[in-house]
Structure formats: structure tokens, C-alpha cells
């Protein structure tokens, strides 16, 4: 396997309302607190809006400053949410809840793929995992109970 970014799959093992989005928020918060510049990649504007709202409300004890990519092409905020490919410059970590892989994954230090509990989410996760493996990277898998 070739050297590349670290790619981690976080796979939910239990059904939970909004589970993959809440998991994404927890990982975003951790990456933000570690000082990383984060891009949260969604599959559509509805998912973008869900994550925008959740980042304000998922935990009473946290604050994650963020902006929507559509609001500005600049990345003044340490966390940016959008459905379009992120700018490689200024992005350390891409956290993805989208159905497709990050095609330009070699442009980033780390990719985090969130896989939900539902069958279609698992199938999408398997396809993304296969994509990275076929492109020379062996992803890590983390099974998350909740």
C-alpha cells in the first residue's frame, strides 16, 4: 500500500436517531479542540443544514465555531460545512457523512468517514472503504456502540 492520508471509518453498531450526524459532531468537536481546521462534507443541502443546527445544539457544554461553505469561500472559521469538495489549502481533516468517497483524498492529512447503522448507509460505507483500498490506502475501522 502507498503512503497517504490517515483514513478512518467510524461505524455505528446501534440504531440511534440522527446517529451518524451526532457522531460526526462529536468527532468535529474533538478535531476542533485539537486545533485542526475541519471540513465537514455532506451529500446535500439538507444534511448541511442538519449538521449546522446540530453543531449548535448537540451538547450543552460545547461550542464549535463553524460556517457554511455557501456563506463564504474564505475559511475564516476553523470548521466549515458543505456538500462541495473542500479546499485542500487550510483543511487538515475532512469529516464526511456523504455517500461517496473523497475523490481527492491525497490532498488532506486525515479523512474521517462516518457510516450509519441502516443497511443503505452500511452499503455506502462498504463502497467508500473499497474505493480507498483500491486506490492504495488501507483505512482503519472503529466500531462505535453509541
Q: Which three cell numbers stand for residue 104?
A: 481527492
How many domains are there within the chain?
Answer: 1
For residue 69, what is the domain's CATH number? Answer: 3.40.50.10110
50: containing domain = 6-144
Give per-residue pLDDT as tens, 14-59.
Answer: 888 788 999 999 999 999 999 999 999 999 999 999 999 998 888 7
| Digit-coded pLDDT (tens) for 95-113 | 999 999 999 999 999 999 9
For residue 1, tell me if it sits in a domain.
Answer: no
Amino acid at each position: 500500500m502507498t503512503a497517504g492520508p490517515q483514513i478512518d471509518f467510524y461505524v455505528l453498531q446501534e440504531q440511534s436517531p440522527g446517529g451518524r450526524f451526532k457522531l460526526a459532531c462529536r468527532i468535529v468537536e474533538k478535531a476542533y479542540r485539537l486545533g485542526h481546521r475541519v471540513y465537514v462534507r455532506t451529500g446535500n443541502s439538507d444534511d448541511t443544514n442538519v449538521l449546522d443546527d446540530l453543531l449548535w445544539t448537540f451538547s450543552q457544554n460545547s461550542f464549535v465555531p463553524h460556517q457554511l461553505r455557501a456563506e463564504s469561500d474564505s475559511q475564516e472559521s476553523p470548521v466549515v460545512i458543505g456538500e462541495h469538495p473542500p479546499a485542500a489549502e487550510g483543511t487538515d481533516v475532512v469529516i464526511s457523512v456523504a455517500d461517496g468517497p473523497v475523490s481527492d483524498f491525497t490532498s488532506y492529512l486525515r479523512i474521517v468517514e462516518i457510516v450509519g447503522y441502516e443497511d443503505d448507509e452500511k452499503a455506502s460505507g462498504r463502497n467508500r472503504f473499497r474505493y480507498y483500498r483500491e486506490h492504495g490506502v488501507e483505512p482503519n475501522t472503529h466500531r462505535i456502540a453509541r
